[in-house]
Structure 1
């Protein structure tokens, strides 16, 4: 992954493409299943196939989208794919993207709207060795701090700023790969990790001194939710211009109904969803993928207002951090508050009503996570 300043450069480049394509007339969306045929839909994911997207994979495999008259194709993401730009260019009908990144693209001209906030909670950690003396962001001063950049770093920077640590002066920032090797080799003092992915990689690694796998007791985890600098992450984004088309509105509700059912299925059947993801071609192993399903479920459930409903307080915190937290070069995610319809709960509320009418538990009030035993290398 490139250095964090590339985040701004790529967004600027994306905006040029969006500006060229975003104003083009979009064809009317056919009503889903209006003539008995399935309506083809493309959903752009923000990363490679893994259990982060298990609910969408399950919705395809179990026929939840088909039941809504939709033939959904999942487009795999990657390092050089910006999902919200793919959506704004008309190359996908919906996209999964983190809120701050999507809002940055939106400020650059991408006409997109958050129509379902699937992850209600942030899964970002900063992880350090237990014996390294780091217990809070204040302890980062004078340390080598890893981060991925590319717009993933603002929770970290907000947490440091809140603790009185200047990201541009008080720490040595190290560009981190999307693994935990730099921390395991003690090349950095703290590493960025997702609860459902990179953190598990630590617990799948063997301690050369004991010959056994590392455990949670070997590490200190700083959870940005507890620090108060968490930002909203995976959301379903729709094309704002096309939301003016009643057929696209109807299609969006139907897509969200299928999505709700997919995630509810993975809440209740994590092992099966693990298998679906592995069969989809994920490079990560079965124990890792089960860990990932379990941890992702924690970010969704319980959902007091219903899965996908945007919480106003969490949205405000995300926007405030995006406007006011500076990275090491002094840049912020946003220069101003989002204008227009940055998010709406209209379509998810309709979808929740339909899903409930179909007997789906849309809040998961009784959800209890599993205890997952990781194998070496996530096998």
Structure 2
């Protein structure tokens, strides 16, 4: 494969976050059981139309401000949290912040995180519970140049495969295992920054990327051979969702002890999820408005990059056949099985035992649907169709 040095048009465009988790309890539906219709449960005790008091709650993000979290910013900006009698502080994430640990330590009331790492945190003793699975599909990719010959995980053999570590690489290990490849001997795993510099400079053969972030970075970079921006035809893209090893990602997590013992907190959780899901439905139908809301929050990413990100994030949520936020048993089972069965370089796995009962519940999201029941919201998005987004140089 020839080396592909490139002129980068953005400086350190940030990548994705850490990973998270989901698990089931004895009262979850079987895999072939359809989710209940929204508004089928009793509403929470608060009346969003008349707030006698407003509760202060906080939400920890898993990364820097970007459209990955647009639904929460929209809920804040559009007054949906206020309508639910909540004053929500959204806490920005970063390199050294693990959201589910912040939640477990009591530093925040709620957190958004991926699904396998939060289960590992729970296995280590933290009673955290997945109360709403916002992203229904994995957005993780492996991206290589078109002349690399890498079109499937089987082609990783003998190649330099970039990954972010911190648990974000687990889908890579799962894909290798599915092809009978040993990550310790059959590939050269290279630590990758949260950008695409190593790929564009020819230091690695394939780079880890998110559909909504790092993949856009290569399409915002200049091809030195043409002087134009790279196009999708210049790359091979492997989707871990499509090859059958995708794991559940962004979910809303709550404190399990407080859910069980504090009715006021449980009520806050229901209202918080309801307003957040309303925010995500707004962003499904108003991607430019949500792009602008995120930009106004001070994101360092450019306007076209954020619009791309909003469009791609919506693809991970919609359509939502069981209803937005519902935790699907089949997807949960796949995430858990992958966490239990795929060894890393040291031979260990994310989970050493099946998650204990109560690691996820659909009770909160069903109650949240009931709160939204009179608002004529489409919580399924069966007719959702993404738009076409044109990326500008540097994502501007």
Q: 2:339 aligns with which of 314, 322, 327?
A: 322
Q: Secondary structure at the match of 2:129?
A: strand
Q: Does 1:47 align with 2:55?
A: no
Matched-pair contact (CA < 8 Å) for 1:84–1:102? yes
Q: Secondary structure at the match of 1:65?
A: helix
Q: Unpaired runs of 5+ in structure 1? A: 1-6, 9-29
TM-score w.r.t. length of structure 2:
0.87
Shift of 1:35: 6.9
Q: Secondary structure at the match of 1:225?
A: coil
Say which is worse superposed, 223-232 or 244-253, in terms of deviation. Answer: 244-253
Aligned to 2:282: 265
Q: Secondary structure at the match of 1:226?
A: coil
Matched-pair contact (CA < 8 Å) for 1:32–1:38? no
Distance, in Å, in 1 between the alignment partners of 2:170 and 2:226 is 36
Distance, in Å, in 1 between the alignment partners of 2:140 and 2:348 is 21
Shift of 1:32: 8.5
Q: Map 1:47-66 onto structure 2 (within 5 A).
A: 47-66=63-82
Distance, in Å, in 1 between the alignment partners of 2:307 and 2:258 is 37
Q: Secondary structure at the match of 1:369?
A: coil
Distance, in Å, in 2 between the alignment partners of 1:128 and 1:165 is 19
Shift of 1:266: 0.4
Matched-pair contact (CA < 8 Å) for 2:51–2:85? no
Matched-pair contact (CA < 8 Å) for 1:128–1:134? yes
Q: 1:194 aligns with which of 210, 230, 239?
A: 210
Q: Secondary structure at the match of 1:126?
A: strand
Q: Secondary structure at the match of 2:337?
A: helix
Specify which structure has the higher proportion of helix.
1
Q: Does 1:347 align with 2:364?
A: yes
Q: Map 1:194-343 onto structure 2 (within 5 A).
A: 194-244=210-260, 245-343=262-360
Q: Unpaired runs of 5+ in structure 2? A: 1-17, 20-44
Matched-pair contact (CA < 8 Å) for 2:130–2:361? yes
Q: Map 1:65-144 onto structure 2 (within 5 A).
A: 65-144=81-160
Which structure ranks higher in relative contact order (CA pairs < 8 Å, sequence separation ≥ 6)? Answer: 2
How many matched pairs? Answer: 352
Q: Secondary structure at the match of 1:193?
A: strand
Q: CA RMSD in A?
A: 1.5
Shift of 1:359: 1.2
Shift of 1:31: 6.8
TM-score w.r.t. length of structure 1:
0.91
Shift of 1:354: 2.3
Q: 2:191 aligns with which of 175, 188, 204?
A: 175
Distance, in Å, in 1 between the alignment partners of 2:101 and 2:241 is 28
Distance, in Å, in 2 between the alignment partners of 1:60 and 1:100 is 28
Shift of 1:282: 0.5
Shift of 1:356: 3.1
